[in-house]
Each structure stands twice: as structure tokens, then as C-alpha cells.
Amino acid sequence: MSDLPDQTVIQAHAEVIRGLEPFARENLSLLKSVEESWQPSDVLPDMTGEGWPEAVARLRQQARAVPDGLLVVLVGNTVTEEALPAYQTMLNRHPGVTDATGASEDGWALWTRGWTAEENRHGEILSRYLYLTGRVDLRAVEVTTQHLLRNGFDPGTGNDTYRGLVYTSFQERATKISHGNTARLANESGDPLLGKICALVTGDESRHEEAYKRFVSKIFEVDPSGAMVAFAEMMRHVVAMPARRMSDGGEGLFDRFSAVAQRIGVYTARDYAEIIEHLVGLWNVRALTGLTSAGAEAQEYLGKLADRYRALAERAAARPLPKRAERFSWLFGRSC
């Protein structure tokens, strides 16, 4: 784990974040109103309508074209989305953005609840799709979600709100990339409905990514050295994926899921390097001046980081892929 900040730093950062409450409020426009939001029912077969058997049959027919590897990644993404209570809890652990009552009108609290309300549709639509396909062992999937929620998730921010917002910037971009690639592969394999579902989710993740990045941009404006150090500290260890502690009762499930995601190109080491480069560029990390010595040290570290990860990714890509197929309870014990 990276060096976690002490309470004095955490409280000083919380003060800055409190000062940015009006900025959080301004950016509520990146959320959509309920009226203009898509809902899972807009896309999935209408079970009250006349033609529901045909609609379900069509869905199942198209879903047969989805290869096992893509199905595994889709299940992993679904489980990740279904663990949303862990992520709302995470945000509320960070001082300055905490929703003090659970129904607070504070700008940060409004953001967190609005964000959660949009995210909640992701697990819902993906789970319902998986249910209707008849292609996965739904009980094994549900067991995985229950385990993940019980096991919890530590993003490694030490409850420092600067680090928390760096984490969410990184993570929303990562999920955008992952759902976006899943959409593309679904379309290519012949399931346009799944392509559409994943594209809708990608659109949400993209707005969320934009918001969290703006929040951190603002922190860079008001406290450049603090922001720089927080960014660097979050990057000193591999960014923890939210579903890292997923389990279906056995061992190593997340690693097997990640191996498939890497193999089929849904989320790869290259994507990881790209996200770092994107954030370093966006936050103008290399060009900032007037930093404290800790800030300058962090800047030096961050400036070279994407190249380091890119070199690692290229080296990994040059190695032959492991032949071993991964076994999944989600696929009734089949390997892929």
C-alpha cells in the first residue's frame, strides 16, 4: 500500500473540498434528469406486451452468438456494477464530500446520490440481460456478487478525498473503456442488443469520468502540490480494481476474469498505460511550476510513468499468451 496521509493532511484536503462545493453543484449538469435518463425497460423485451415470446426468443437467438470469453467478461463487469453499495459507501467515507444526513442538499451529496442513481441502472440492465439469455449459471453469478459485497473493497485512498477523486477519475475511465470494448465485440459477434446495452452504460461512464476529472482539475488549480502528491501516491501501486475481491467460493476468480479481459482485448495493460498518459496530459502534470519539493518529486515520478507502463505492456504483449484455459462456475464449469 502507498504511504497513506495523516489526519492533518486529510483534514486540510477536506477544507479545500468544502470550498469547492459550489463547483460540485455547477457540475451536477453532467448528470441527467430522471426524465431524460434511459431505463433498462426501454431496451429489454416488454414482458407485458403482446409479442414478448418472440422478443425473448430473438434475444436468446442473438445471445447465442456471444463467445464464452466475452460472456465471462460481461459477467465480471456485471458483478462489478452490482457491488455499487460498496462504491457509494466509499465516497461517503471521504471527508468533505460526505452526505451528512443521507438526504443532504449539499452539492457533493447531491452529486454522489445522483451518480449512484445513474450507476444503479448498470447492474440492473446487465443482470436482466444475462437472465434472459439463459447462457450463464445465474446462481453462481449472484453468489459472486454476494461474496464481493461481503468481502468489501479498499481503493487504497486512506480516506484522503484528493486521492478518492483521483481514484474515481481513473476508474470511471477504465469502466468506460471496458464497457465500450464489450459493446464493440458484442456488435462484431452478432448481438446488437448487447452492443446497445453496453453502449448506454458506456455513455453514462463517460459523463461520470468527465465530472471526476473536472473535480481533480479544480483541485490542481487551488492546491497544485497537494493534487500532484495525491495523484502520484495513488499511482505508486497498481490501481485497485473494484471487483478485486470477487469470489464464487473458490480462489483466484478475479485473476482469471482479468486474464480473459486482457486476452480478448476488453481491458488490457495498454489501456492502463493510456489512462495514466491521458490524466497526466489533462492535468498538465509535466508543465506545472511553483511546486513544493514533495510536489516536484511527485511530478518527476508521474512524468515518466505512462512510458514505464507502456514498456511493460509491450513486453507482456510480446510474450506468447498462456495456453491454459480458465474455468468458470459462471459458465457451468466450462473453460474458455
Euclidean distance between CA atoms 181 and 326, whole angstroms? 21
Output 122 or 245, the one with its CB closest to Fe ion: 122
Note if 122 is an active site residue: yes
Q: Which residues contact 76 (CB under 8 A, 6 or more apart)?
A: 243, 246, 254, 257, 260, 261
Exactly one of 118, 160, 204, 248 is catalytic; name it: 204
At closest approach, how far in Å is the CB of 166 from Fe ion? 15
Active site residue 15: no
204 is an active site residue: yes
Q: Is 82 in the site for Fe ion (CB under 5 A)?
A: no
How far is 310 from 223, CA to CA, in rounded Å? 29
Q: Which stretch binds Fe ion (CB under 5 A): 42-50, 55-63, 73-81, 136-144?
A: 73-81
**81 carries an active-site annotation:** yes
Q: Which amino acid is at 199?
A: A
DSSP-derived secondary structure for 178-193:
HHHHHHHHHHHHT-HH
Binding-site member from 13, 94, 113, 122 for Fe ion (CB under 5 A): 122
Which string of b and e fits 202-211 if b means at least 16 CB within 10 Å? bbbbbbbbbb
326 annotated active-site? no
Answer yes or no: 119 catalytic: yes
Cβ-contact 27, 111 below 8 angstroms: yes
Kindly tell me which of 116 and 187 has the beta carbon lying closer to Fe ion.
Answer: 116
| Separation of alpha carbons 139 and 125, rounded Å | 17
* Contact (CB, 8 A) for 111 and 207: no
Applying CB under 5 A, which of residues 82, 99, 106, 119 lies at the interface with Fe ion?
A: 119
Catalytic-role residue among 112, 144, 175, 202: 175
CA dihedral 37, 39, 44, 46 (to 10 degrees): -110
Give the x-and-dash track for 159-198 against Fe ion (CB under 5 A). -------------x--x-----------------------
Rounded (10°) CA dihedral 155, 157, 160, 165: -60
Q: Tell me if 43 sits within 8 A of 197, measured CB to CB.
A: yes
DSSP summary character for residue 333: T
Q: 3-state class of 105 per DSSP? A: coil
Nearer to Fe ion, 5 or 242 (CB): 242
Q: Under the criterion CB under 5 A, does residue 124 sit at the interface with Fe ion?
A: no
Between residues 182 and 329, which has the closer beta carbon with respect to Fe ion? Answer: 182
Which of 77, 329 has the CB closer to Fe ion? Answer: 77
Binding to Fe ion by CB under 5 A, coded x per residue (else -) over 198-237, reads -------x--------------------------------
Number of residues that bind Fe ion (CB under 5 A): 6
Catalytic positions:
38, 81, 119, 122, 172, 175, 204-205, 208
**Chain residues in the site for Fe ion (CB under 5 A):** 81, 119, 122, 172, 175, 205
